[in-house]
Amino acid sequence: MKKKILLTGATGYVGGLLLERLISEGYGVHVLARSPDKIMKRTGVEVFKGDIRDREAVASAMKECDVAFYLVHGLNSHTDFEYEEALSAQNFASAANRASLSKIIYLGGLGGEDALSPHLRSRHLTGKILALGKTPVTEFRASIVLGKNSTSYGIMKLLVQRLPFLVDPLNLRSLCQPIAEEDLIQYLFLEIERESAESRIIEIGGSDRTTYSGLLLRLALHSGIQRPLVPVPEIDPRILAEAFELVCPEYARVGRHLLESLSYPTVQNEIESAKQLFPAILPMGITEALDRIGTFSSSPRDLIAPAHLARILASFVDRFPALALGLPKPLRAILGI
């Protein structure tokens, strides 16, 4: 008899993909969602209305479940997302203490303990709080997820489409290790049946490492789009976030938190665990992942208006005069510098 699964975050990107996989493999699934109407009625899926911070709602959804997936985060929170994530994890762990779960599977973020942005620090803290409970926790740590509907890919796609050139700040050249969505879902899915009596952290990633600007450039070239990569001096990530909100307002809130993480490397520091525990998974590289996603187009209509771009750049140059030296000559001419 197959295990019954509690899935949180089912209305999100990774949760939605995992839900489809669980259904296709014949698992019974309990879904906890604040907006049940977003979950299509399916055979074998029982939807429970509730917030992850509501201990009673979580406990109700956990009944009769064997494994629980914790795939929620607070990046879209209008309040303190670090506090919200910690509170949610504490409530979930408390509910799990009274349930009969065999394990909790949590998706966190890669990053060294001594070099973490607020976003990554909160992701690590969430894993630690969950592991304080009686139920064993398997914490997968991953970097950028490459998939057509992932937030990271959506942001990068818009930046390529809207910017006439790509900025490469000196202080944002840390390495990342993108993982294809297919590989990520396979790790999460195979962990369901893996026997484990203790909590552990498993770092996962694709076969390639690159800088964030390098990933943007590869994304552009993969679709045949020419975008010059312009090296510039150090830029405070908070200032960069202000410009990002003007270019991609659709992702303003979540993008600001993600940009803060660009100063820190998000790569596997320990690779043997993933290899030994999941030998059947041979993580693909960036090119193969992008091939699976497909290409996209960009036309002059997609580009940010020259006047708008000039205002953004003028603001940067005013606050960071050294940036002017790294700008292409045509843009320096527009700005009169």
Within a domain: 42 = yes
- Report pLDDT digits (tens) over 178-198: 999 999 999 999 999 999 889
pLDDT score of 103 more than 90: yes
Within a domain: 48 = yes
Mean pLDDT of 226-249: 83
pLDDT score of 78 more than 70: no
Q: What is the distance between the alpha carbons of residues 167 and 158, in angstroms, rounded to a whole number?
A: 14
Mean pLDDT of 222-246: 85
Q: What is the distance between the alpha carbons of residues 277 and 156, in angstroms, rounded to a whole number?
A: 32
- Report pLDDT digits (tens) over 238-290: 778 878 888 888 888 777 777 777 788 999 999 999 999 999 999 999 999 99
- Report pLDDT digits (tens) over 143-168: 999 999 999 999 999 999 999 889 88
Within a domain: 336 = no
Pair type for strands 67-70 and 145-146: unpaired
- Report pLDDT digits (tens) over 288-299: 999 999 999 998
Q: Residue 230's pLDDT is what?
A: 85
Greater pLDDT, 234 or 88: 88
Structure tokens at 66: 């064997």
pLDDT score of 77 more than 60: no
> What is the DSSP secondary structure assignment for residue 171, as one 8-state letter?
G
Burial of 245 (0-12, 13-18, 19+ CB in 10 A): middle
Percent of the chain with pLDDT over 90: 60
Within a domain: 105 = yes
Within a domain: 83 = yes
Structure tokens at 59: 């406990």
Q: Residue 69 belongs to what domain range?
A: 4-145+180-204+268-278
Lowest-confidence pick of 59-68, 185-194, 304-313: 304-313
Mean pLDDT of 119-135: 92
Within a domain: 50 = yes
Q: What is the distance between the alpha carbons of residues 156 and 182, in angstroms, rounded to a whole number?
A: 19
Q: What is the distance between the alpha carbons of residues 172 and 192, in angstroms, rounded to a whole number?
A: 36
Within a domain: 261 = no
How many domains does one find in the chain?
A: 1
pTM attached to this predicted model: 0.91
CATH assignment of the domain containing 69: 3.40.50.720
Average pLDDT along the chain: 88
Within a domain: 210 = no
